[in-house]
């Protein structure tokens, strides 16, 4: 018997193996506009946030008037690496298995709509998701609005909703929405930072995540 009707996934670092490239792109963008280049750890921290707040957090010494240029330089570097981005091994099989179990599957991401659509097109995954929310359409993480909108769209209660992500932003969003969460340790944030938000489980690989979902989801 299913425990969760709606399962919402973060994208980068959870389904898509993009953390290292995003970190590099943030660092290069900050360098391009003359800011102090953030460490890999500081750059990784902002993954999952909406783009402009993320860049502002990663580059606090870059003046506000340079934010559009910073945004443009990030996108420039990111799209140069578009062909380097791949799904984590086992993601397609996991999603197909969950669909067979009649779960509603959604994406809740800090990406833009254009960025998510391009990513979904690149790996031909549109057909496996019932819905999605992006940071430019609604409030960015950890605000719970995107999860609340997905629950409303599919008429699912918080108790029947599960959020899966690789950052504290994902887990905090689930907490504020009244939903259960699962953290994955193979993405942007150290799993030692997850405890505050009480995830039901921390998965160390996609097969481990799938096994938990089949047993408990």
- Select from 33, 58, 83 the last residue of a domain: 83
d(CA 158, CA 194): 20
- Select from 83, 110, 136 the last residue of a domain: 83
pLDDT in tens, 85-105: 788 989 999 999 999 999 999
* Same domain (yes/no): 143, 46: no
pLDDT in tens, 118-159: 888 878 888 999 999 999 999 989 999 999 999 999 999 999
Residue 175: predicted pLDDT: 97
Q: Are 71 and 51 in contact (CB under 8 A)?
A: yes
* Same domain (yes/no): 70, 165: no
* Same domain (yes/no): 48, 133: no
Residue 1 lies in a domain: no
* Same domain (yes/no): 201, 211: yes
* Same domain (yes/no): 200, 113: yes
* Same domain (yes/no): 65, 158: no
* Same domain (yes/no): 62, 47: yes
* Same domain (yes/no): 195, 120: yes
* Same domain (yes/no): 159, 101: yes
* Same domain (yes/no): 77, 131: no
Q: What are phi and psi of 84, to 5 degrees?
A: -85, -10
* Same domain (yes/no): 159, 199: yes
Residue 191: predicted pLDDT: 84
Domain that holds residue 29: 19-83
Residue 12 lies in a domain: yes
d(CA 199, CA 180): 7
Give how many domains the chain has, as a whole number. 2
d(CA 106, CA 115): 16
* Same domain (yes/no): 11, 114: yes
pLDDT in tens, 136-147: 999 989 999 999
Residue 132 lies in a domain: yes
pLDDT in tens, 40-64: 889 988 887 777 788 788 899 999 8
Q: What are phi and psi of 56, to 5 degrees?
A: -65, -40
């Amino acid at each position: 018997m299913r425990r969760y009707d709606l399962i919402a996934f973060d994208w980068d670092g959870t389904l898509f193996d993009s953390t290292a490239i995003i970190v590099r792109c943030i660092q290069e963008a900050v360098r391009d506009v003359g800011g102090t280049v953030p460490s890999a750890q500081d750059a990784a921290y902002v993954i999952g946030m909406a783009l402009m707040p993320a860049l502002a957090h990663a580059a606090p010494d870059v003046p506000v008037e340079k934010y559009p240029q910073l945004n443009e330089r990030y996108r420039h570097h990111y799209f140069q690496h578009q062909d380097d981005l791949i799904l984590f091994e086992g993601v397609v099989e996991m999603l197909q298995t969950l669909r067979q179990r009649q779960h509603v599957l959604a994406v809740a991401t800090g990406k833009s709509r254009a960025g998510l659509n391009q990513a979904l097109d690149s790996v031909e995954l549109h057909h496996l998701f019932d819905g999605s929310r992006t940071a430019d359409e609604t409030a960015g993480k950890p605000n719970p609005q995107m999860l609340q909108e997905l629950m409303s769209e599919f008429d699912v209660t918080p108790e029947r909703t599960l959020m899966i992500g690789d950052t504290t932003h994902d887990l905090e969003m689930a907490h504020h929405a009244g939903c259960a969460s699962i953290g994955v340790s193979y993405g942007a944030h150290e799993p030692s930072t997850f405890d505050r938000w009480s995830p039901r489980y921390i998965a160390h690989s996609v097969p481990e995540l799938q096994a938990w979902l089949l047993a408990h989801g």
